[in-house]
Chains A and B, each alone.
Chain A
Amino acid sequence: MNSIKSVNAVEPMQVDVSEENENAEEEPYIVENPTLDIETYTSSYHGMAKLSRLMFIADHCPSLRIETLKMAIAAVQETYNVTLYQQLHRKLQEAISGLTPAQIQALELPSYDVAWAESKMKKAALKLEKLDTDLKNYKANSIKESIRRGHDDLGDHYLDYGDMSNALKCYSRARDYCTSSKHVIHMCLNVIKVSVYLQNWSHVLSYVNKAESTPDFAESSNSKDGGQALVTHLQCAAGLAELATKKYKCAARHFLQANIDHCDLPELLSPSNVAVFGGLCALATYDRAELQKHVISSSSFKLFLELEPQLRDIIHKFYESKYASCLKLLEEMKDNLLLDMYLAPHVPALYTKIRNRALIQYFSPYMSADMRRMAEAFNTSVAALEDELMQLILDGQIQARIDSHNKILFAKDADQRSSTFEKSLNLGEEFKRRTRLLVIRAAVLRNQIHVKSSPRDSGGQTTEVAIPSSSGSSPRN
């Protein structure tokens, strides 16, 4: 059906791209991508967050690959994560396999430091032992507070070491030893952190709920700065989880409640991340009124948008119905967004939603619209626009009909009266059908009709039935 591809690469009804697909698709885009400055991008992160983001960029961006791998190796040497170090070096070797020796020299790559690796492993093992024995001692002494702290320390160490599942186990074990709500909240935050790294989103959401329902939470969130930071932290984590599970509207709501002054979460998200995620999700799912109230005139979110002026422009242009420029800017942002670890798989879906919303909003004031002008406004061809509109009409998002001869889109009023008659007649049919089925079923149950395999004769209920002739069945016993 779609033999003509639109100029815009965003097709309606495109499913989520898989990682492999992205790799193939991204190659042509990356080269024209000078806007992403790796240093500043990753400076707002710390620890595992930084490393995972660097690795994601390395995997998906050939031009920046070597640089990011260098930075990642430098970062990983501050942790105990030796396995990751080895992995990164292997990737580096693969990346430079195509280059000449002279180029390799020029890159000043770090070499694989075997001594460092070994010493770190030993140190990690020693520390693990120490923490373990400490914990055993605390348990022997049965001091709740120290046991809890011991579990926490052990969890921290595992995290540093890169062993996420054990870290999660340790943090969860600390739960039994929490005595005050502050401890509970602290534990929840730890679990949330590790769950985010493990991408276990249901865990994240349940622990966010748990933290929010702690008795003293409401108090602390109103009183001091620490409380606000806590709220923001939880909202960001929840937003991230909803985004990952494709619940874009909920994600937008969470992100929009974050407070920029307290958005200092180097282990989770940067403020610009919050801005981008929140802005895009809101644009894709909020209607005009909500967009106006919660995004454009929101005092708190405005500060976030200052961090991403491009996104701010996009949202404003969308609101002012300047669709062509809005969509163009979106396209420009796309490359950078595809490098973001959490957003990349959702970029096509979000873009499609935004585009559909734009189409619907464009057409909403009109009784009839010239499809040629509409195609221009949306930077696409008339045929592709026709297909997009067809899909939207079938989904029921636009009430219209396409006049393909003159290329005009006519708004269509649903004739309430006729449709009511039709619906009621159909309902009558449905009622009759169901009642008759019910009567028959009552008869069946009354007579205890039941298909069972009779144990005696192997024939039982399994006589072959071939229409029109039926082979002679065995005489009834």
Chain B
Amino acid sequence: MASSLEHFVNSVRNLSSEGSWRELYEFLGKSPDVLMRNSEHLDTVLDTLDPQQHSLGVLAIYMVKFMILNQSAIQNQGILVPEPEILINQVSQFITVCNGEQIRCAPDSFAELCNQFTQCLVEQEMPARGIVPLSKAIRKARMNETQLTSIHANLLQLCLMAQNLKPALEFLNVEISEINSENGYFDAKHFLLYYYYGGVINMACKNFDRALYSFEVALTTPSSAVSHIMLESYKKYILVSLILHGKVAPLPKYTSQVVNRLLKPMSAIYHEITTVFATNKPSSLELVLQKHRDVLQRENNWGLAKQVQQSLYKKIIQRLTQTFLTLSLGDMALRVQLPNVMEAEKLVLTMIEDGDIYASISQKDGMVLFHDNPDKYDSTSTVERVQKEVNICIELDMQVQKMEEAICTNPVFVKKASGAIDEDDGGRSSATSALQGAATKVPSFSM
């Protein structure tokens, strides 16, 4: 082995045994060149290092291997190019056995490794193989359950590609309350991708309100430029909103202006669909959808569009339940613009079974009788439910209060608050007014 490589191995061994991760991390930051030059010996180095004890060192080596893999052929002359298949196996193994504590000291490298790993899998078209390793990676990389890392986005991507959604749902159902900045590696892109993919996965599992929530988070990201991810999120947001609520709820006020100014004009088709939907005429909606069929298919929203059509029928029937006690099937077919009575009956039947409306069909008269929501809210299950909901809300409230306290006791904030007060006049001394006054003057903490 070349001396520089020996030096590398020794440093890794020494620093690891000492447990000085910070220094090791810095040292490794300077080593990619060394490793690149000695690429043919990398495997030997891997054998000498233990992935458990010397995780950081091994991590650096794998990073270099991926770098070589990604470089073009010209740059790789004279360098041994690793086999993707083998590399994938090795990295999967590594992720499984690596030491979480060490990994957390080098979050950016680890995240980069996972990212490269994902890309490799995607290119090799073996997404399913990455799901388990990445799940493990997330569990090791995050500080607590509610923390978001860039690896989340990678995992969701693989799950979608592999059409294996259950592992993803496990992570999606956890409420995110923190983001792991990964020493600056975590980027808006990872955030947007996580929520976009999350929305798509929820949609595929028919959890439309979770999907809407995810898309809304993606759309309210602060931004000053157009992101394609946000554009796609916006289009799907509109369609899912139509399916779920029958109308497009306005985005919150803290959505950045980019959405209004730039995204809206780019999604004219979807706005058209919204306006036609509001007219409650299934035939017109059908026409509009057919007109834009190509575009919708290209943007992979055709399936959603068909579901929008179904939900229009449901919306019309729900309006009917609010106004009528009984309605003849013929009349209903007329009002919903269905071709005949059989279709109307079938649709009402489906809706009753799904629990979307409460009704009964009397075939003798050819009438549909609409009932009110039979749930009288007077059973123990109601009490339990209300109790549970109240508890969750209280918990959430406490969480927000804790966050507020954390800010209030943050020395930087207190300094700025008291500094602002000194500027105005020295009279006010109460903490609350200081905080209130400062809240308007310290924009970085405002929401």
Contact = CB atoms under 8 A, between A and B. Distances in A.
Question: Does A associate with B in a complex?
Answer: yes
Interface of A: 1, 3, 389-390, 393-394, 401-406, 410, 415, 417-418, 421-422, 424-425, 428-429, 431-433, 435-447, 449-453, 460-470, 472-473, 475-476
B429 interface: no
Contact of A1 (B112, B177, B334, B367): B334
A429 B245 CA distance: 15
Contact of B221 (A405, A425, A451, A470): A451
Nearest to B397: A435
Given A402-B323, A469-B161, A444 B123 contact: no
A415 B335 CA distance: 28
Nearest to A418: B377
Contacts of A415: 372
Given A1-B335, A428-B390, A443-B148, A470 B186 contact: no
A183 B384 CA distance: 74
Interface in B356-388: 365, 367, 370, 372-373, 375-377, 382, 385-386
B227 A461 contact: yes
A421 B377 contact: yes
Interface of B: 70, 112, 115-116, 119, 122-123, 148, 157, 160-161, 163, 175-179, 181, 185-189, 191-193, 196-197, 200, 213, 216-217, 220-230, 232, 252, 254, 258, 300, 319, 322-328, 331, 334-335, 365, 367, 370, 372-373, 375-377, 382, 385-386, 389-390, 392-393, 396-397, 399-400, 403, 444, 447
B373 A401 contact: no
Q: Which of A437, A461, A463 has the most CB of B within 10 A?
A: A461
B213 A433 contact: yes
A425 B222 contact: no
Given A1-B334, A421-B377, A468-B161, A451 B403 contact: no
Give 3 nearest A-B pairs by CB, closest first: A451-B223, A453-B225, A421-B377
B179 A451 contact: no
A451 B225 contact: yes
26 contacts: A401-B324, A401-B370, A403-B324, A403-B326, A405-B328, A425-B386, A428-B390, A432-B393, A432-B396, A436-B213, A437-B217, A440-B176, A441-B254, A449-B186, A449-B191, A450-B188, A450-B222, A451-B227, A451-B258, A452-B225, A463-B228, A464-B228, A465-B196, A467-B200, A469-B122, A472-B123
Given A404-B331, A418-B373, A464-B228, A449 B392 contact: no
B323 A393 contact: yes
Nearest to A436: B175
A442 B178 CA distance: 8
B109 to A, nearest CB: 12
Given A437-B217, A467-B160, A442 B447 contact: yes
A443 B178 contact: yes
A445 B179 contact: no
Contacts of A463: 189, 228-229
Contacts of A433: 213
Given A443-B177, A449-B188, A404 B372 contact: no
Nearest to A420: B377
Nearest to A392: B323
Given A435-B400, A467-B160, A449 B229 contact: no
Contact of A432 (B179, B224, B392): B392
B175 A462 contact: no
B189 A470 contact: no
A57 B388 CA distance: 69
B163 A468 contact: yes
Given A428-B390, A449-B187, A451-B192, 14 more contacts: A393-B322, A403-B325, A422-B377, A435-B396, A438-B400, A438-B447, A439-B396, A445-B444, A449-B179, A450-B222, A451-B258, A462-B226, A463-B228, A475-B70
A450 B432 CA distance: 31
Nearest to B116: A475
B324 A442 contact: no
Contact of A451 (B148, B200, B224, B392): B224
Contacts of B192: 451
A12 B61 CA distance: 76
Contacts of A436: 175, 213, 396
Contacts of B178: 443
B319 A439 contact: no
Given A401-B324, A476-B115, A440 B177 contact: yes
A421 B382 contact: yes
B81 to A, nearest CB: 16
A445 B377 contact: no
B200 A417 contact: no
Nearest to B185: A476
A57 B92 CA distance: 87
Given A433-B213, A443-B176, A446-B179, A465 B300 contact: no
A443 to B, nearest CB: 5
Given A424-B386, A433-B213, A449-B222, A401 B325 contact: yes
A439 B175 contact: yes
B191 to A, nearest CB: 5
Contacts of B319: 394
Given A439-B400, A451-B227, A418 B323 contact: no
Nearest to B365: A405
Nearest to B182: A447
A437 B216 contact: yes
B300 A466 contact: yes
A89 B400 CA distance: 76
A356 to B, nearest CB: 15
